[in-house]
Amino acid sequence: MSDHVVQLQKFHKKLTKTIDALKVANHMTSSKTLTYRELESIKCLHNEPTRAASQLLNVVRNRPGIPDFLRALDETGHGHVRQLIETGNIQGIRVQAM
């Protein structure tokens, strides 16, 4: 299991409250990283943003697209989320898993 997958699991709850899942999922679909079916599974949860983010994280965690997900975070203004996944820190502040 990659370090990034471990971090996704460790910070899952924090990440679901931080990620704009629709924005990231749309970006990943346009770059052919997510399938249309995966995008739809996230879009159908648009009224429940935490569940949509959880669905996105579950999709990403179960496939080899972690580098593409990290790139999508950067390209959609979620660089702080990428930093948390990669280091467990946000701008030098250690974040506790929830």
- Domains annotated for the chain, with CATH where assigned, are 3-94 (1.10.533.10)
The mean per-residue pLDDT over the stretch 23-39 comes to 94
Query: What mean pLDDT is reported for the chain?
Result: 85
Residue 55's nearest CA partner among 30, 89, 85, 21 is: 21
The confidence band for 89, taking pLDDT boundaries of 50, 70 and 90, is low
Q: Is the pLDDT of residue 97 over 80?
A: no
The mean per-residue pLDDT over the stretch 18-25 comes to 94
Q: What are the tokens at 80?
A: 């702080």
The confidence band for 2, taking pLDDT boundaries of 50, 70 and 90, is low
pTM of the model: 0.82
